[in-house]
Amino acid sequence: MTTTAELLPKTTLQNLPEFLVRLRETSQKIFDSKGFPGNKSEEYKYLSLDTAALRLSLDGLPKLQPTPKNLSKSLISFNAYIVVVVNGVLDIENSKLPISESGVWVDSLKNTLHTKPEFAKEIGHLADISDGFVAKNTAEFTDGWVLKIDKNVKVSKPIYLVNLCTGDASFFQNTRNLIHVGNNAEVDIYKHTLSLDLNSEIFQNGVTEVYVGENSTATFSQIQEGGENLNSVNYFVANQAANSVLTHNIFTLSGKVVRNNTQLVLAGKGAEGNMNGVFIPSSGETFDNHTLADHRVAHCNSNELYKGVALGKGSGVFNGKIFVRKDAQKTNAYQSNKNILLSDDANIYTKPQLEIYADDVKCSHGSTTGQLDEKAMFYMQARGIGQDAARKLLVKAFSGEAVNMVKNEAVREFLEAAIDRKLNND
């Protein structure tokens, strides 16, 4: 394998709003003093990051790679708008973008700074820069994508974001994304992270900030299939206005180290936030999910369902927090995390948390870690289903509860097949 990839010089973003320039300076200072969080930090306790990966070149991004010809084979085929992002850079040629009259607008962050400076002002208000990875991203993001749904627009087709990692260069990538869903709008977004011909280790440190307008419904489903060369830190934070419904699903199927930080801020009365996930780490993989349901105002609901299956020497982490602030009365918040260990060398670490400062609330969490039901296994084996097939069937049913939260049938089928493949390789 030749490492011919040449890194482009670090681009300095032009036309950044004044406050963002200052925010970048502050973030840089925070990062310089704190660095990346290690496993001494409470929030990153169970994440063993490869320090070599953190030292990957920060000098710039590789030249835009030609999109591999066999890409379509790895994609989910369904009728959707397609947004292809290669190594963090929007590849418009290969995308099938909606026309601008439709009320849906997609562009790179770099262009947005020129064409819609007003819109660019929404960057940086939600992500918490006290987190080392967010600080790093805020200080040094080079590009990213921006998605805007106008008010009263019900997007007719799902939006399919393909986050492709490819090439021979090793690098550390900071991408910054922004989603804005106007009032009374409706959208179904899928983000599919995958690697094709990725021959060197890379580190993606992505931050996505989302605004969901009043009375809007949005779903954001993420499929993480990065392969052994991809380290990912996905930070997703959404601010929900009154009566909005946001569903965030995340399926972590492969990758070296994957850390998913998902934070829903219920900031308007009557908002509903849902978080679902499946993570299946096997040998050499650590999948770490941190979620936060931040109830800021009264009369909001949140639901959470995370399912973990640990194979081989895999390591899975779930840390979910329900945070009910002082005035957030009449809150209903539920969280459920269930895990299965299929190997003696695998580990699961969970920490479901409740932090509650209001009294008129109903909050609960439940967490279990165990193995497949022996009786169910026996039942199936007694009926001629082999051990391996029975095991797969049970895992399918187990993860199915979360997979079924996905709206689109083609995506659900893709996920089921991908989970099956993962178990086959174990």
Partner 1 sequence: MSQEIIDEVIASDYKYGWSSDIETETIKKGLTEDTVRLISSKKNEPGWMLEFRLKAFRHWLKMTEPTWPNVQYPKIDFQNIIYYAAPKQKIELENLDQVDPELIKTFEKLGISLEEQKRLSGVRSNIAVDAVIDSVSVKTTFKETLYEKGIIFCSFSEAVQEHPDLIQKYLGTVVPYTDNFYAALNAAVFSDGSFCYIPKGVRCPMELSTYFRINSAGTGQFERTLLIADEGAYVSYLEGCTAPMRDENQLHAAVVELVAHKEGEIKYSTVQNWYPGDKEGKGGIYNFVTKRGICLGERSKISWTQVETGSAITWKYPSVILKGDYSVGEFYSVAVTNNYQQADTGTKMLHIGKNTKSTIVSKGISGGHSNNSYRGLVRIGKKAENSRNFSQCDSLLLGDKCGAHTFPYIEVNNKSSKVEHEATTSKIGEDQIFYCKQRGLDNEKAVALIVNGYCRDVLNQLPMEFAVEAQKLLSISLEGSVG
User: Binding to partner 1 by residue 355, rule CB under 8 A?
Assistant: yes
> Which segment (7-15, 125-133, 199-207, 345-353) binds partner 1 by CB under 8 A?
345-353
If DSSP codes are grouped into helix, strand and coil, which group holds residue 20? helix
149, 341, 405, 415: residue in contact with partner 1 (rule CB under 8 A):
341
Nearer to partner 1 by Cβ, of 28 and 283: the residue is 283
In the complex, minimum distance from the CB of residue 319 to partner 1, in angstroms, rounded to a whole number: 9
Nearer to partner 1 by Cβ, of 102 and 303: the residue is 303
User: Binding to partner 1 by residue 292, rule CB under 8 A?
Assistant: no
In the complex, minimum distance from the CB of residue 355 to partner 1, in angstroms, rounded to a whole number: 5
User: Binding to partner 1 by residue 373, rule CB under 8 A?
Assistant: no
The Cα-based distances of 324 to 168, 210, 292, 351, 361 in angstroms read 46, 21, 10, 17, 9
Determine whether 294 is exposed, middle or buried from the number of CB atoms within 10 Å of its CB (0-12, 13-18, 19+).
Answer: buried
User: Binding to partner 1 by residue 89, rule CB under 8 A?
Assistant: no
User: Binding to partner 1 by residue 353, rule CB under 8 A?
Assistant: yes
Q: Report the candidate in 148, 105, 144, 129 with the shortest Cα–Cα distance to residue 19.
A: 129
**Count of residues engaged in binding partner 1, rule: CB under 8 A:** 34
User: Binding to partner 1 by residue 35, rule CB under 8 A?
Assistant: no
Nearer to partner 1 by Cβ, of 156 and 387: the residue is 387
User: Binding to partner 1 by residue 59, rule CB under 8 A?
Assistant: no
User: Binding to partner 1 by residue 347, rule CB under 8 A?
Assistant: yes
> Which segment (97-105, 270-278, 291-299, 358-366) binds partner 1 by CB under 8 A?
358-366
Distance CA 294, CA 355 (A): 10
For tokens 């991004």, name the residue.
Answer: 61
Q: List b or e across 184-216, with b for residues whose CB sees 16 or more CB atoms inside 10 angstroms.
A: bbbbbbbbbbbbbebeebbbbbbbbbbbbbbbb
The Cα-based distances of 355 to 271, 337, 368, 408 in angstroms read 19, 17, 20, 34
Residues 37-56 that bind partner 1 (CB under 8 A): 42
The neighbouring-strand residues paired with 332 are: 301, 362
370, 376, 386, 397: residue in contact with partner 1 (rule CB under 8 A):
370
> Which segment (59-67, 123-131, 340-348, 380-388) binds partner 1 by CB under 8 A?
340-348
Check: CB of residue 232 under 8 Å from CB of residue 257: yes
Check: CB of residue 153 under 8 Å from CB of residue 102: yes
In the complex, minimum distance from the CB of residue 317 to partner 1, in angstroms, rounded to a whole number: 10
